[in-house]
Amino acid sequence: MDPDALSAALLAVVAPLAEARRAGSSEGLTAADLPLERPKNRDHGDWASNAALKLAKAVGANPREFAAEIADGLAAVDGVAEVEVAGPGFINIRLDAAAAGSLAKTIVEAGAAFGTNDSQRGNTINLEFVSANPTGPMHIGHTRWAALGDSMARLLQASGATLVREFYINDAGAQMERFGRSVLAAAKGEPTPDDGYAGAYIEELARRVLASRPDLLELAEADQLTTARDLAYEFQLGELQHSLEKFNVHFDVWFSERTLHSKPEDGGPSLVDEAVDRLRAQGHVFDEDGAVWVRTTDFGDDRDRVIRRSNGEYTYFAADAAYYLSKSDRGFAHKIYLLGADHHGYVHRLKALAGAAGDDPSKDIEVLIGQLVSINGARLSKRAGNIIELDDLREWIGTDALRYSLARYPADSPLTLDPEILRKRTNDNPVFYVQYAHARTHNVTRNAEASGVDRSGFAPELLTHETESALLGALQEFPRIVAFAAELREPHRVARYLEELAGLYHRWYDNCRVIPLGDEPVEPVHHTRRWLNDATGQVLRNGLTLLGVGAPERM
């Protein structure tokens, strides 16, 4: 019996009891209103419910008396071994071994689909993250947002959401001109401009530009700058994309900021032009001192925002507005922005923008801020000179260790990682601990096959050892963990769950043999434990996949 089945059984018991006590009191009651929890102390059973405490006042009952009535009804449910009332009205539920153990077969048969759920079904989400400037390599901050953003996307999709991963390319504005002048200066053998970009990567880009356009320095001066800028941009963007793919991060959409400013061939308005008119139509735009403003204070912003200056130039807020509206036009009812620690000022600004566009700032947009991360002993990039690069980190620590460690902590907590621990092949290294548990399940499977222990038989009532009960209890939790982590946008919940599951598996492995000793015959319990072993491996693999981390079969 899985948690959903037990929740349905609980509802079937509670609803008529509530109805009998007070007519109509159970109207609209669902299984979601009767949450189940895993008791911290396993001596209290497999599951606990506070349904009686939650509903007692509504039905006019004493909580403990109401809990006793619920307990009597649950005790008659097939698969429930024992129900007892504790404290002021808590209900502790213990499943019989067969009902609990049947989950092992369910997991193996579900395979990669186990853990998927419908909690986010119907949500159409645009998740924008990383969005690094295409003027240099990605740094350690981008690395964290890449790991977190991709894991969030995997969780949301596993929970039924329709989602697109989007990278916003900041390829317009003054930084692109500085970038172009920096590359051109390097191509000419001149010093880097005072406000330009320095580093060996600029020299590398200049060499690539010259190799692609040997006639660069023969062009007119204006054409030299445009050509150097656009070619270097193409090369640098390609490097960003390649770095992310090697980090197991894939983007569905690469959205160019230039498209917001470009005019259509018929000479009509750009998307930025249209954004001003569309916000004006919503009634939140006003003119003052020759400039055009958006009254974002109507939606909690600390001040109104200029969208077009008195000289006719658009502000960056105009691009933000056009980009937000573009997401709506492309069918994304919900927008999630994952921004860096230096973007706190964007939270109110973007939410106010959503309100000015006619959306609900409390529902249609989320702005998540990731905090800083540091790596003990990390050296600055030789190419960039002033940052720690994603590629250097990946080669030094490893993709799996880096991704797992970055996803293991909440986005809003500052983080310092110790590479010496992450490079160790010991249980001190969390990713090794989890991956080793997965590899051990495969080793057990290989040895079981060689010993004639297959999955031909399954007797779940034989899974009675206390470590088996604990392991099955944790396996049951996986779909709920996935749904909860998706709802809260917190991949670290999956990582911490996997570590707990790995620990329970190792304890089970130490106490319960899948393969008989010596000349002992293969018994039904061995076949059944093979199912439990393989089920655990499947859940560990599914969880690691949600974090974008590999699940090796040998270590």
d(CA 38, CA 92): 9
What was the pLDDT predicted at 282?
93
Closest CA to 157 of 542, 549, 551: 542
128 and 228 Cβ atoms separated by less than 8 Å: no
Give the whole-angstrom CA distance, residue 494 versus residue 406: 12
Nearest to 505 by CA among 534, 477, 485: 534
Q: Which range (113-117, 367-371, 457-461, 550-554) has the least confidence?
A: 367-371
238-265 pLDDT, tens per residue?
Answer: 999 999 999 999 999 999 999 999 998 8
CA dist 109 and 439 (Å) reads 20
- Which pLDDT score, from 0 to 100, does residue 26 have? 58
- The pLDDT of residue 28 is 74
3-class DSSP state of 551: coil
The DSSP H or E segment spanning 125 is strand 124-128
Give the pLDDT band (50/70/90) at residue 382.
low
Alpha carbon distance 135, 141 (integer Å): 15
- Quick one: pLDDT at residue 267? 84
Tens-place pLDDT, residues 13-35: 998 888 887 655 556 788 878 88
Give the span between the Cα atoms of 507 and 509, in whole angstroms: 5
The pLDDT assigned to 45 comes to 83
Predicted pLDDT of residue 23: 53
Q: What is the per-residue burial (b if ≥16 Cβ within 10 Å, else e) of 87-104? A: eebbbbbbbbbbbbbbbb
Per residue in 96-119, pLDDT (tens digit) is 888 889 999 999 999 999 999 999
Full set of structural domains in the chain with CATH: 3-95 (3.30.1360.70), 174-246 (no CATH), 425-546 (1.10.730.10)
Taking the whole predicted model, whether its pTM rises above 0.85 is answered as yes
Residues making up the chain, counted from first to last: 555
Q: What is the mean pLDDT of residues 267-273?
A: 93
What interhelical angle do 221-246 and 200-212 show, nearest 10? 120
CA gap 423, 398 in Å, rounded: 8
- Containing 450, the helix (H) or strand (E) segment is helix 430-450
**Which two tokens mark 71?**
């307990």
Find the distance separating the first CA and the last CA of the chain, reported in whole Å: 34
Please state, in angstroms and as integers, the Cα–Cα distance from residue 265 to each residue in 9, 186, 268, 296, 361, following that order.
63, 35, 7, 33, 35
- How far, in Å, CA of 275 to CA of 286, rounded? 14
